Structure 1
Amino acid sequence: MPELKSPLRKRVAYLTSQYPKVSHSFIRREILALERLGWEVHRFALRGWDAELPDVDDRTELERTAYVLNKGVLSIAWAVVATMFAAPGGFWRSFTMAVALMRRSDRPFFLHAIYLAEACWLARELARLQLSHLHTHFGTNPTDVALLVNCLTGISYSFTVHGPEEFDRIIGINLQTKVERAKFVVAISSFGRGQLMRLIHPSGWNKIKVVHCGVDERFLISSVLANAANKLVCVGRLCEQKGQALLVSAAARLAGRGANFELVLVGDGENRPIIEQLIRDHQLQGKVRITGWADGEAVRREILDARAFVLPSFAEGLAVVLMEAMALGRPVLTTYIAGNPELVVHEENGWLFPAGSEDELADAMHRCLNAPVSVLQAMGERGARAVAEQHNVQTEAGKLSALFAHALEA
C-alpha cells in the first residue's frame, strides 16, 4: 500500500527591513491575503517598532511583528555564540558567505558582521517555530540576512524585487548571488523580471516569477464616475526619483499659459524643502499645496476629489499608487519607464510622456485639464478594468501561495 503524504503545513516567515511602513502597505495587504488563503505568516523585521503610523491597520501589524534589533546586544550576541558551538559547520559557511558578500558590497564590513549576527538570532527563532521557508521584500539587507540564514541552516528563502534601487546597485548588493541561491525570486512586473534574467544563466530563468502588487480593497469600486474638477493629485514620497520638483516646474508653465488648476502633492520626504522653495520661486502658493503623510483613506479621498492622477517618476518599479488611482476610475499621467507601460496605455487609460521632459509633462497636464468629461469617464472605466484584471490582491496572493507550497514540498 503506498504511503500517504502528510498534509502541507502552510506556514511561512516574512522578513523586511522595516515593517510596517507607511509607503509599504502593499506588503501588509499581501500578508493578509495569504492568511485568508489559510497561511500562517510569521512577521519579522529588523527595525520599525518605534515608527509613527497614521494607518490603524499598520498599528495592528506592529503588534504582530517580532523585531530583531530591539532584542538587545546581549540577546543577539548570545545567539552568535550559541550558533558557533551548536552548528560550527553552518556558522563557518555563513561567515564565509558574509565575507564574500562584503568584498563586493558598497556597504562597510561592520554591517555585514551585523547581518551575520541577525541571521544567527533569526535562524534560532525560525528553528524554534519550526519554519522552513523565509520570504523577504527588496533585494537589500533583509535578503542578505535570509541568504546567511540559508547558509547557517539550509532553510530556503525567496524574495520580491521591486526596483529601482536594486537595479541601481546590482553589484553593490550582490543581487546576482542572491538570485542564484534563492528558491525562487518574484518580480513585480515583466520589466523587473527581464532585469533579473540578465543576471543569471538561462537555465535559471524559470524560477523568476511575476507576481503583481495588489490593490487595497477600499480602492476597488463597483462603478466609475469621472470628476470634472480642475484638480490634479500626486501621491508619493517627496524624493528625487518621484520627480515632484519637475512637476512643480511644469505647473508653473501651465500657470504661465493662464490655466486654471489645483495641484495637490500628498506625501512627505527629504525633498520637501526643495519643493516648497520651488513653489515660492514660481509663486504657486495659490495653486500647489503639500499635505504631508496621509493614511489610506485620506489618499483615497484626495484621488477621488481629483480629475486625474500624475506621477512624473524618473525611476520606478511599478508604483502601487498608480494602480490605486486607476482602480478609483482616475486617468493617470506618468512616464514611459519600467513597468508603467504594462499598466498604463497612452490615451486609453491615461497619458504617458518621457521621463525628465518638462515640456511633455506640461502638455500632458494641459490635455488632461481640457479633456471632455466623457473622455475622462471612458479612460477611468478602462483603467479600473485593467487594475481589476492585473492587480487583484487575492489573485496575486494565490500565485505566491502556489510558489510557497512548491518550495515547502521540495
Structure 2
Amino acid sequence: MKIAYLVNTAPVTSSTFIRREMAALEAQGVTVRRFALRRWHQTLVDPLDIADQARTRYILSGNLRGLAFASFRQAITGPAAFARGAWRAVRLARSGGGAVRHAAYFLEAVYLLRCLRREGIAHIHVHFSSNAAAVALIARTMGGPSYSFTAHGPDEFLTATEDGLPQKLAGAAFAVAISDFCRGQLLRFGGALYRDRIVVARCGLDLSEFVPSPRPAGASRTLVCVGRLCPQKGQAYLPAAVARLRATEAPFRLVLIGDGESRPAIEAEIARHGVGDLIELRGWRSNAEVRATIAEARALVLPSFAEGLPIVLLEALALERPVVTTTVAGIPELVDETCGRIVPPGDGAALEQALRDILRADAATLAAMGRAGRARVARHHDLAALATTLRGLFATAIAREGGAVGEAGRPALGQEAA
C-alpha cells in the first residue's frame, strides 16, 4: 500500500505526533510519501525531525517554476479536469478566505496531483482540516486519489465555515477525530449526512520510548510546562501563580520548554512578579531532552485556554508523572483526579490550588497518580493500535477506488464532491 501524507507546514517541533504516526504505519508495511505545502521558518532541534525534513517534498516553498509548469501542462493535457479543479477552488473561496488564497491552493493541487500520479499514490491523508485539506479536495475533484483528514482543533473549528469544512467532509473517504469532543465538532459542521465517515482514533504513543524514571516524582521539586509559547496555552498566567505559591510552599521551580509569540509577555510577567529565580525558559529542546526533563520532574502543568488534545499530556502520563491542566476540548477524556488535577481555564485560584495539591502531595500519592496515568495511555493511546486502525481505513478507501490513480485520473468519490 502506497499513500501520501500532506500537511501545511512540516516538520514542526510541536507536531512530532505526525512523524511518529507515519513511522508506525511504515513499521506495518505501508509506504508513506511525505508532502508539505511549506517549510517551517524556525530551526529544528530534534535529529528525527531534521531527518524527516530531508524526506519531505515541498509544494510551495521555492517551487514557483514547478507550480507554473504543472498548471500549464494540466491545462493543455487535461482541460476538463483543470476546469473542475478551478471551479472547486471558486466554491471554496465563496465560503470565505479570499480568491487569492484559493487560487494558490488550486495551483498547489495541480502540482500535487502530478506528483501523486507519477508515484502511483493510492490515497492522501491530511493532518488538520485547513489549508492542506483544501488542496487534497481540489486534487480529488480533478480526478486524484481518495483523501482523508485528521481533525484536531481548536483553531480549525474557529474558521470551519469559511474554510469550507462541510465541502471537505463531503469529499473525504473518511475523517478522523482525535477525541469524542472533536467528533462532535465535525458533526456540527457535517451533520448527520456524514456521520458514518467520521471515526474517533486517538493520538498514540509507543510506550517503549517512554520509560518512567526510577526517581520517584516526590523526590523532585520541579514543575515543567512544555509547548509553544502562545496565548492559547496560557503560560503567561503561570508567573502570578508561582509568586503566590512562593509564600506558602517549600522551595520549587518551574521550567518552561518551548518558544513562540508569547515569550515577551511571559518574560514581562516573570519580571513583574519577581519570580525570575523560580522560572526558567529553555526554548525548544529535542524530544529526548523533553522526555528527560519530564521524567525528572514532579509534575507537568499546562494551563491551556484552547486545545485539541495535547500530546505532551500523554507523554507526561506515560512517564508516570501527574499533570495539572484545564477542562478544555478533549482533555477531560484523558485527565481526571486519579492522574492529576484539572481546573477551569483562566481560574487563577483553582490553578494555584491544583499546583499546591501537587507540591504538597506525598510520594505514595504521586506514584499512584503516575501509575493511573500510564495505564490510561496504554489503554486508549497505543501508537501501534492507531496505525492498525488507520491502515485498515486506508485499505478500505483504496479498495473502494480500485487501486492507485492513473494518468487519466478517475471520477471524484460520490456526487456530493462534485
TM-score (norm 2): 0.92
* Separation in 1, partners of 2:15, 2:212: 25
SS in 1 for 2:217: coil
* Paired amino acid for 1:155: P
Q: Which stretches in structure 1 are left out of the alignment for 5+ residues?
A: 1-9
Paired AA for residue 326 in structure 1 = L
* CA offset digits 1:202-241 (Å, max 9, x no partner): 2421110111112255643278753221211100000000
Whether 1:177 aligns to 2:167 is yes
Give the corresponding residue for 1:4. none
Q: Does 1:164 pair with 2:139? A: no
Q: Which residues of 2 match residues 10-409 of structure 1 at below 5 A? A: 10-48=1-39, 51-70=42-61, 72-105=63-96, 107-217=97-207, 219-221=209-211, 226-228=216-218, 229-257=220-248, 259-346=250-337, 348-409=338-399
1:100, distance to aligned residue in structure 2 (A): 1.3
Q: Post-superposition, which runs of at least 4 consecutive aligned residues in structure 1 deviate over 3 A? A: 216-219, 222-225, 256-259
Change (3 A) 1:406 1:24: same
Q: Which amino acid aligns with 1:293?
A: W
Provide the C-alpha distance between the structure 2 equivalents of 1:49 and 1:243, rounded to a whole number of angstroms: 23
Q: Structure 1 pair 15/331, CA: closer, same or farther in 2 (3 Å)?
A: same
Mapped contact 1:164–1:316 kept (Cα < 8 A): yes
Structure 2 contact 213–296 (Cα < 8 Å) conserved = no
Cα distance in 2 for residues equivalent to 1:18 and 1:322 = 23
Once structures 1 and 2 are overlaid, which stretch shifts more, 300-309 or 232-241?
300-309
Distance 1:49 1:222, change over 3 A: closer
Contact 1:224 1:329 in 2 (8 A): no
What's the offset of the Cα at 1:49?
7.1
Mean CA deviation greater in 147-156 or 323-332: 147-156
Amino acid at match of 1:353: V
Structure 2 counterpart SS, 1:136: strand
**Alpha-carbon separation, structure 2, partners of 1:222 and 1:272:** 30
Out of 395-404 and 84-93, give the one that drifted further. 84-93
Give the partner amino acid of 1:64.
R
Larger displacement relative to structure 2 (133-142 or 255-264): 255-264
Look up the equivalent residue of 1:244 and give its one-letter code: Q
Post-superposition Cα deviations, 1:135-177, rounded to whole Å, max 9, x if no partner, equal 1111111011001000111421100111001111111211121
Q: Which amino acid aligns with 2:257?
A: V
Larger mean CA deviation between 178-187 and 65-74 belongs to 65-74
Task: State whether residues 212 and 295 of structure 2, in contact with CA within 8 Å, keep that contact through their aligned partners in structure 1.
Answer: no
Q: What amino acid is the match of 2:106?
A: L
Give the Cα separation in 2 of the matches to 1:131 and 1:236.
34
| TM score, norm. by length of structure 1 | 0.94
User: By how many angstroms is 1:341 displaced?
Assistant: 1.0
Partners of 1:50 and 1:293 in 2: CA distance: 14
Other structure's SS at 1:198 match? helix
**In 2 relative to 1, CA 91–224 (structure 1 residues): closer, same or farther, beyond 3 Å?**
farther
Give how far 1:284 is off. Answer: 0.1
One-letter code of the match for 1:264?
A: V
Asked whether the 8 Å contact 1:139–1:160 carries over to 2, the reply is yes
Considering only aligned residues, what root-mean-square deviation do their CA atoms show, in Å?
1.5
Secondary structure, in 3 states, of the residue corresponding to 1:199?
helix
Distance (Å, rounded) in 1 between the aligned partners of 2:36 and 2:193 = 33
Q: Count how many residue pairs are aligned between Structure 1 and Structure 2.
A: 399
C-alpha deviation, 1:18, in angstroms: 1.3
Query: What amino acid does structure 2 have at the position aligned with 1:192?
Result: C
CA distance in 2, matches of 1:302, 1:216: 18
Distance 1:110 1:198 in 2: 28
